[in-house]
């Protein structure tokens, strides 16, 4: 069964700009306006979004009637949520290095990248079984995990893709495997 998956990363937040581990923050300033100026997403059979406020506001700005799906939530950063990467680097350099270099590490008490990719891959596979076109409004980390899953890449490559606010990433599945889809 053929499936098209269109990922849309939520709009910019203060956490993005200040390099903070995210909390459930709203979109920043003109981010909703920028989302509203994007081309209308194509028709979809299903539209899902993260429960986070920034994802809900992005879906609203895009005029998408989306259902909340917990599988699309951002990576759980545990006790680091709301803190700056610089502060973590100063206070816990070994823990930050472990988190960035070992996909199984979760020194913050939250979710490891292995756990994140497992969650995202499971969601993608369940959507693939349904076929059709699905739009997912989610987070950069979730989309990067999806890309590593599609490419069957080692999780160390998680850091090699940059997903900007309001980025769109397309994927397709023939029911057996996922592929990245590039179009003009």
* CATH number of the domain within which 142 lies: 3.40.50.1240
Q: What phi and psi values does residue 7 have, to the nearest 5 degrees?
A: -90, 135
Pairing mode of beta strands 3-9, 132-138: parallel
| Per-residue model confidence (pLDDT) at position 84 | 95
Supply the pLDDT for residue 184: 63
Please give the pLDDT value at position 8: 97
Give the model's pLDDT for residue 183. 79
CB atoms within 10 A of CB 21: 20
Going edge to edge, which strands form the sheet with 67-68? 67-68, 46-49, 132-138, 3-9, 168-173, 178-181
Report DSSP state, residue 84.
B
Tokens of 147: 């890309």
Taking the chain (184 residues) in consecutive chunks of 10 residues, what is each chunk's mean pLDDT? Answer: 96 92 93 87 93 97 96 97 96 95 95 97 96 98 97 90 95 95 80
Predicted confidence at residue 42, as pLDDT, reads 80
- For residues 107 and 154, is the Cβ–Cβ distance under 8 A? no
Range of the domain at 22: 3-181
Q: Burial, 53: exposed, middle or buried (Cβ in 10 Å; 0-12, 13-18, 19+)?
A: middle
pLDDT at 155: 84
Q: Single out the residue of 179, 175, 137 nearest to residue 2, CA to CA.
A: 175
Contacts for 7 with CB less than 8 Å, ≥ 6 apart:
136, 138, 142, 143, 146, 167, 168, 169, 170, 171
Ramachandran quadrant class, 63 (left: phi over 0; alpha: psi -120 to 50; beta: rest) = left
Domain count for the chain: 1
pLDDT of residue 36: 85
């Amino acid at each position: 069964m053929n499936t098209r998956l269109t990922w849309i990363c939520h709009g910019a937040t203060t956490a993005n700009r200040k390099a903070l581990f995210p909390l459930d923050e709203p979109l920043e300033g003109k981010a909703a306006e920028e989302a509203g100026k994007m081309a209308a997403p194509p028709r979809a059979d299903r539209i899902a979004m993260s429960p986070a406020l920034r994802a809900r506001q992005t879906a609203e700005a895009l005029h998408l009637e989306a259902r909340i799906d917990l599988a699309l939530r951002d990576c759980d950063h545990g006790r680091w949520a709301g803190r700056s990467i610089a502060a973590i680097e100063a206070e816990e350099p070994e823990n930050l290095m472990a988190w960035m270099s070992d996909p199984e590490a979760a020194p913050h008490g939250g979710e490891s990248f292995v756990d994140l990719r497992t969650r995202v891959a499971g969601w993608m596979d369940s959507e693939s079984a349904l076929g059709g076109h699905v739009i997912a409004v989610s987070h950069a980390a979730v989309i990067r995990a999806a890309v590593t899953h599609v490419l069957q890449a080692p999780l160390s490559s998680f850091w090699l893709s940059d997903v900007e606010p309001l980025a769109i990433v397309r994927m397709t599945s023939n029911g057996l495997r996922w592929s990245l889809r590039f179009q003009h």
